[in-house]
Amino acid sequence: MKKTLLLAFLVSICADISFAQNQITAITLVSKTDAPVINKNIYGHFAEHLGRSIYGGFFVGDTSKIPNTNGVRNDIVKALKELKIPNLRWPGGCFADTYHWKDGIGPKENRPTIVNQWWGGVTEDNSFGTHDFLNMCELLGAEPYLSGNVGSGTVQELSEWVQYANYKGKSPMSDLRKKNGRAEPWKVNFWGIGNEAWGCGGNMTADYYANEYRKYATFMPNDIVRIASGANSDNYNWTETLMKNIPANMLGGLALHHYSVIDWNKKGDGVDFTEDQYFATMKEALKMEELVTKHSAIMDKYDPNKKIDLVVDEWGGWYDVEKGTNPGFLYQQNTMRDAVLAGSTLNIFNNHADRVRMANLAQCVNVLQAVILTDKAKMITTPTYHVMKMYNVHQGATLLPVNFNSPRYTYKGEMLPAVSVSASKDQNRVVHISLVNIDSKNKNKIEIDVKGLGVKNFTGTILTSAKLQDYNSFEVPNKIVPAVFKNFENKSGKLEITVPPFSVVVLEGK
């Protein structure tokens, strides 16, 4: 009996494998007149005062031998401009609810020091403050997203920060700004009112935070986007409570945080991982589809015209820190696992562009799923960087909704959708289709009907590598870089594509 069962199980596995390898998945792109535009801010980033994100990352100081502009590394600015970084969130994260912005303005030698209680207990000398950050955003061509302190700050402190950054006329705060060398306001549009209010931002209940939010928002102008600290992953009650209790005209955006973590007590190595761990990470990453769908459905109840943005302002893979590094600094390497994680997640955001209008990968430099890593004067870009660059063609383009049933990635009796897709048409009528195959072993054959899209000639780019665990190191910085992809054929308006295991592909049709 047991033998029969085993045999049946093995036959079903073999059937699954050959099914995955031979079947062709048909994908339809639906051209809809009311399709949403993919907000460029979905491709946003996050820079916290954490580990080597700011100090030793973005900011080396203007006396450094590393080429810099007002202390900010030129190589990082160049790389992020090439990425078309649309916005940058700062100064946290958990750090934001301990940050008093007035500590970071005026002559650097007079700035007080504080202890960074969340991240390694290191001394923060406040040498990188409001002017440094906002001027850096101008250099990057990125919109700043400031995260205000609710946990240990005051209403007055946050409302004065808004005036300091944005007020054009004469006021005590604009006078102070001018005294510190900046005549014109920066006009910061995005303002977070606290961060993770359910946790490091003050351990508040949803009801309590909703009241706090209302109070803070009252003393901030209406012409900026005020963003509420949102739910932790699947805490739908948090979203419901905030949507119910905060008047819609006070709420520009509602945040959501979700990290792809296998187990908070045993996250696993960033590079040296097993297929069990890979599968578990991808399962957590793909949960984003359900999270975004369910949080959006709650928002729809209170905001049927979808005026309020869903802002996924922290997402990404989180593993154990690299051996030998400070546990409080969250430094990890970045492999092909991170590349497919990023590609799949961005496909989800694109496909939910009607509600998801901003997202911020955690984090930009030297922290968690970074796009850039530095080691003294050296700087490298990670596989995640390349995915974000390949995908930047979707920024500001109109979504082409996709319809299909994904083939399966089967592992030890569990299944995940292997392929994810998103597509868009830009203002020059150029079509882009991004495809990810997360299957660790099997390629997948896809057929996309592109008739009726008004494009004929396709080219492709692929990111993949020999092993899932491969990464770019300071010694071999270009091990994983995008390459020309030719494994497709246009058969009278039907694109037949073979997507290799663990790869990210972007097709361009003109």
Q: Decide if residue 48 touches ligand AHR (CB under 6 A).
A: yes
409/411 Cα distance (integer angstroms): 7
Nearest to 20 by CA among 385, 441, 352: 441
**Site for ligand AHR (CB under 6 A): how many residues?**
10
Give the β-pairing of 72-73 and 87-90.
unpaired
> What residues contact residue 60 under an 8 Å CB cut-off, 6+ apart?
66, 68, 71, 72, 73
- Select from 178-186, 220-228, 362-370, 446-454 the region that touches ligand AHR (CB under 6 A): 362-370
- For ligand AHR, the closer of residues 92 and 268 by Cβ is 92
Question: Around Cβ 9, how many Cβ atoms within 10 Å?
Answer: 11
Q: Read off φ and ψ for residue 32, nearest 5 degrees.
A: -115, 140
313 binds ligand AHR (CB under 6 A): no
The residue number with the shortest CB distance to ligand AHR is 93
Could you say which residues in the range 446-505 bind ligand AHR, by CB under 6 A?
none
User: Is residue 332 near ligand AHR by the rule CB under 6 A?
Assistant: no
Burial category of 303 from C-beta neighbours within 10 Å (exposed 0-12, middle 13-18, buried 19 and up): middle
User: Exposure string (b/e) for 158-169, b if CB count within 10 Å is 16 or more?
Assistant: bbbbbbbbbbee
Catalytic, 196? Answer: yes
Whether 314 is catalytic:
yes
Cα 57 off chain centre by: 18
Question: Applying CB under 6 A, which of residues 132, 196, 289, 439 lies at the interface with ligand AHR?
Answer: 196
Nearest to 20, CA basis, from 501, 282, 405, 409: 409
Position 132 contacts ligand AHR (CB under 6 A): no
Shorter beta-carbon distance to ligand AHR: residue 241 or 363: 363
- Closest CB to ligand AHR among residues 284, 314: 314
Query: Whole-number minimum distance, CB 257 to ligand AHR, in Å?
Result: 6
Which of 361-369, 419-427, 449-457, 458-466 is the region at the interface with ligand AHR (rule: CB under 6 A)? 361-369
| Residue 314 makes contact with ligand AHR by CB under 6 A | yes
Chain position carrying tokens 């950050």: 133
Is the CB of 48 or the CB of 470 nearer to ligand AHR?
Answer: 48
Find the shortest distance in angstroms from Cβ 186 to ligand AHR: 23
Minimum Å gap between C-beta 318 and ligand AHR is 8
Please, which residue, 363 or 472, has the CB nearer to ligand AHR? 363
Which of 96/468 has CB closer to ligand AHR? 96
Smallest gap from residue 492 Cβ to ligand AHR (A): 48
**Which residue from 93, 252, 383, 501 is in contact with ligand AHR, where contact means CB under 6 A?**
93
Residue 287 C-beta: closest distance to ligand AHR, Å:
17
Choosing from 48, 196, 212, 284, which is the catalytic residue?
Answer: 196
Among 60, 76, 80, 94, binds ligand AHR (CB under 6 A): 94
CA 195 from centre of chain: 16
Which listed residue (160, 284, 314, 447) is catalytic?
314
Query: According to the binding rule CB under 6 A, does residue 230 interact with ligand AHR?
Result: no
3-state secondary structure 371-425: CEEEECCEEEECHHHHHHHHHHHHCCCEECCEECCCCEEEECCEEEECEEEEEEE
Quick one: angle between helices 236-245 and 206-218, nearest 10? 40
**362 near ligand AHR (CB under 6 A):** yes
Alpha carbon distance 436, 417 (integer Å): 10
State the nearest-atom distance from the C-beta of 439 to ligand AHR, in Å.
Answer: 29
Using H for helix, E for strand and C for coil, what is the string for 220-276? CCCCCEEEEEEEECCCHHHHHHHHHHCCHHHCCEEEEEEEECCCCCCCCCCCCCCHH
Residue placing its CB nearer to ligand AHR in the complex, 314 or 439: 314
Min dist. Cβ of residue 469 to ligand AHR (A): 23
Query: Count of alpha carbons within 13 Å of 86, Cβ hemisphere only?
Result: 22
Residue 110 CB neighbour total at 10 angstroms:
8
Active site residues: 196, 314
Where on the chain is the footprint of ligand AHR (CB under 6 A)? 48, 92-94, 195-196, 314, 362-363, 368
